[in-house]
Structure 1
């Protein structure tokens, strides 16, 4: 009878072991983050329409009454006013789009070493992107020509924007890869910050005394 009573606590203590073997592995947040991030990133890339980018270039040319240093300075100034309403108001006629569209999808950049202004436009269609960039560059050139008598610097078209052959937006495969990396990183962070469980001590009968040990102790008393 003593053997049966001593075997009962051991059987009870052995019950959680199959449950622990069926638990999820420790690194499951990382795998779940990679899978979820990859799916979301790929879905974003498929749902987002492609964008095309075209760029036109104009160069500042000094007159006989000016010098190259002045041309470089006015090129910086024209780069700042290229996306202003005074220029875009004229450009919308040639681009065939509203001024608001030009304000949102056209940007101008200058070089600190060369008197050049680049006008870049993005659109859902390749031809529209090229038309928007060329329209803003043409309008900027006309405004510079109107002020040429006072600035002694004019703008000339250096290169027209051409219709892009490929979209500039990221494909679905790339967005899926970026999403998987981001999801894996978040899963790893969640794995690091989650509380750790203290190891369970499974000692012999000293942790949970059996009925036989308790009866023997009472007999001695």
Structure 2
């Protein structure tokens, strides 16, 4: 009969407990760095482009009113009424605009920043410009009552570099998260018994002496 090769031993819990404490942190850091770097390489790049519009008051209004209307127009920039008007120029459906377009306002200036995200530079700039143009047209329809008009301040520029994190950055973030998880696992790791602990077990308190219970006779 031929002897079968010995089977590899499974990593038991006792062997895990005998590992040095720093090994958990090191393993977590290496694994997190590899996973984070792989995510940065495999994830598709994301490009962002921003278009700016500014609220301008007429002779019957004042700058304070323009600032307030800029805040209001910033809230409606991503509503269906505006996005529905922008979808033809942007070349994408409304659901894509609702997902990838954001509008931000400044508390100090009557300006609205319309930012769009896309996997390519061209569509990102096109979506930002389309939404800002649609918002300007909607504001023009109410200029007679609000005395505020929106004017295109700057068109969106095609980005040359992606705004998403690079593999190096995602790798560093993953390594930091992995090291943190390794440190937490080290804190909850069961304490290993030493030979001194087995040689001197903790004393168990016995019953109290009779003199302590009944008093001295």
TM-score (norm 1): 0.80
Instruction: Measure the CA separation in 2 of the matches of 1:66 and 1:26.
Output: 70
Q: After TM superposition, what 4+ stretches of structure 1 lie above 6 angstroms from structure 2?
A: none
Q: Report the 3-state secondary structure (helix = DSSP H, G, I; strand = E; otherwise coil) of the residue aligned with 1:53.
A: strand
- Residue of 149, 153, 158 corresponding to 2:153: 158
In the TM superposition, what are the counterparts of 1:86-125 in structure 2 within 5 Å?
Answer: 86-125=81-120
Instruction: Measure the CA separation in 2 of the matches of 1:190 and 1:24.
Output: 13
Structure 1 vs Structure 2 CA RMSD = 1.5
Aligned residue in 2 for 1:176? 171
- Residue of 165, 179, 184 corresponding to 1:189: 184
1:50 is aligned to 2:45: yes
User: How much has 1:26 moved relative to structure 2?
Assistant: 2.0
1:36 is aligned to 2:31: yes
Structure with the largest fraction of helix: 1
Instruction: Measure the CA separation in 2 of the matches of 1:26 and 1:156.
Output: 63
User: How much has 1:47 moved relative to structure 2?
Assistant: 1.4
Aligned length: 183
In the TM superposition, what are the counterparts of 1:107-146 in structure 2 within 5 Å?
Answer: 107-146=102-141
Aligned residue in 1 for 2:8? none
User: How much has 1:24 moved relative to structure 2?
Assistant: 2.8
Instruction: Measure the CA separation in 2 of the matches of 1:43 and 1:180.
Output: 12
1:199 is aligned to 2:189: no
Aligned residue in 1 for 2:162? 167
User: How much has 1:33 moved relative to structure 2?
Assistant: 0.3
User: How much has 1:198 moved relative to structure 2?
Assistant: 2.8
Q: Report the 3-state secondary structure (helix = DSSP H, G, I; strand = E; otherwise coil) of the residue aligned with 2:108.
A: coil
Q: Who wins on radius of gyration, i.e. which is larger?
A: 1
Q: Report the 3-state secondary structure (helix = DSSP H, G, I; strand = E; otherwise coil) of the residue aligned with 2:53.
A: strand
User: How much has 1:170 moved relative to structure 2?
Assistant: 0.3
Unaligned stretches of 5+ residues in structure 1: 1-19, 204-221
Instruction: Measure the CA separation in 2 of the matches of 1:192 and 1:26.
Output: 10
Offset from partner CA, 1:79-122 (integer Å, 9 cap, x none)? 00000000000110100000000000000000111000000001
